[in-house]
Amino acid sequence: MTSPVLPGSIIGILGSGQLGRMIAIAARRMGYRIHTLSPESDSPTGHVADREVVAAYDDIEAVKRFAEDVDIITLEFENISADCVDAALLITPVRPKGSVLHTTQNRLREKTFLAEHGFPVAPFRHVKSSEELAAAVEEISTPAVLKTAGFGYDGKGQVKIETADDVADAWASMAGQEAVLEAFIDFELELSVVAVRGLDGDFVHYGTVENQHSRHILDITTAPADVSGAVNVTAVNLTRKVFEALDVVGVACVEYFLDREENLIINEIAPRVHNSGHFTFDACVTSQFEQQVRAVCGLPLGSTDQPRPAAMANLLGDLWENGEPDWATALAIPEVKLHLYGKQEARPGRKMGHLTAMADTREQAVERVVEARRGLVKR
């Protein structure tokens, strides 16, 4: 049995954005010290870390030096090269392991893995040329979605194909990268399950939540989702099986489409703490961020109990268009919590923070968080 990494130890985080920041806050509260490595300085994670190392992820020697100074390493996001993880792993444990990243950071590998293991996915084809795309569109039919095979998030690297006439422009937008064509799902809801698996295989989850997107960026999450008990059970069971098939250690999120016949289709896997789990910081006994610390350090997992419904609303840089948002107005609403990420520059579409709200019903929680965000805009 692997010995746990106990409080007082140093956790290294590859990545230094808002996800690393919230992991670091949870870890420091538990008595851990934090080192972070990324190409950025004065970063959201760096603000709350004991040490901020500025280096490229492909600077293998820098990664090795970083690993020598910490007791365990975890990841803030999945788009870190396998070479970086493998180099760190020569020095100290890295969780989740590199094979999880290898599968999930490439859409083709992820879709193929899911299909081969019998998980429900939309029909897809691997395409490497305009001619292959045209043939794939004829097989799958339209509408369809063309996505770059690797390193995409928040809708980046994808384009919808409405008719066969769109093939040439769609392929040109891929800029020569290999791609995946997926059948378009006429979905009723977008759902996700954030869960955590421990070093001993223990599994806990936060139930099924509902996500609304705007401009391909998560806008509002409502917990719990307004779905039947059967859908919730199926989503949780599928998520557990995905975690076991990948041998995940730590927090991850499985995103789903729910179609008009209440069938669940897996959209993608994020092997990390997730935007749709941010509500857990305030609404649950143990947040997803503390769970990440517990899991990668080999400690028992915490309770995921959520006493009341909650909603989360992202705060994008657009809110700063007319100057500093009106924080006082938003915070005057009862049971609203503000989380800002410490980013120095507000840009349109950039995630700057989020609000959470709790209430007696899920509808009230959504109304409350939307009202609070609306109050941020200066008139």
Task: Tell me which of 161, 183, 205 is where a domain ends.
Answer: 183
Look at 164-168, 328-332, 337-341 and tell me which has the smallest mean pLDDT. 164-168
pLDDT at 158 over 70: yes
Beta bridge partners of 125: 181
What's the pLDDT tens digit per position in 268-288? 999 999 999 999 999 999 999
Q: Are residues 259 and 365 in the same domain?
A: yes
Beta-carbon contacts of 183 under 8 Å, excluding residues fewer than 6 positions away, are 122, 123, 124, 140, 141, 144
Residue 152 pLDDT: 59
Domain annotation covers residue 5: no
Residue 310 pLDDT: 98
Task: Tell me which of 150, 168, 183 is where a domain ends.
Answer: 183
User: If you compute the radius of gyration of the chain from its CA atoms, what whole number of angstroms results?
Assistant: 21
Task: Tell me which of 166, 183, 200 is where a domain ends.
Answer: 183
What's the pLDDT tens digit per position in 87-146? 999 999 999 998 999 999 899 999 999 999 999 999 999 999 999 999 999 999 999 999
Tell me the average pLDDT of the chain: 95
What's the pLDDT tens digit per position in 303-312? 999 999 999 9
Q: Are residues 24 and 153 in the same domain?
A: no
Domain annotation covers residue 47: yes
Q: Are residues 176 and 289 in the same domain?
A: no
Q: Are residues 273 and 343 in the same domain?
A: yes
Domain annotation covers residue 114: no
Range of the domain at 259: 187-375
Q: Are residues 166 and 136 in the same domain?
A: yes
Domain annotation covers residue 133: yes
Angle between helices 229-246 and 107-116 (to 10 degrees): 110
Tokens read off for 231 = 């859908």
- CATH number of the domain at 76, please: 3.40.50.20
With pLDDT > 90 as the criterion, what percentage of the chain qualifies?
A: 88
Residue 9 — pLDDT band, cuts 50, 70, 90? Answer: very high
Cis peptide before 348 (omega within 30 of 0): no
Domain annotation covers residue 22: yes
Give the closest residue to 163 by CA, choosing from 181, 180, 138: 138
Query: Looking at the chain, how many residues does it have?
Result: 379
Q: Are residues 78 and 145 in the same domain?
A: no
pLDDT at 221 over 90: yes
What's the pLDDT tens digit per position in 28-74? 999 999 999 999 999 999 999 999 999 999 999 999 999 999 999 99
What's the pLDDT tens digit per position in 201-216? 999 999 999 999 998 8
Q: Are residues 226 and 291 in the same domain?
A: yes
Domain annotation covers residue 362: yes
Rounded-to-integer distance, Cα 66 and Cα 70, Å: 7
Domain annotation covers residue 74: yes
Q: Are residues 76 and 18 in the same domain?
A: yes
- CATH number of the domain at 160, please: 3.30.1490.20
Q: How many domains does the chain have?
A: 3
Domain annotation covers residue 110: no
pLDDT at 151 over 70: no
pLDDT at 82 over 90: no
**Is residue 20 classed as helix, strand or coil in its secondary structure?**
helix
Q: Are residues 197 and 331 in the same domain?
A: yes
Q: Are residues 251 and 177 in the same domain?
A: no
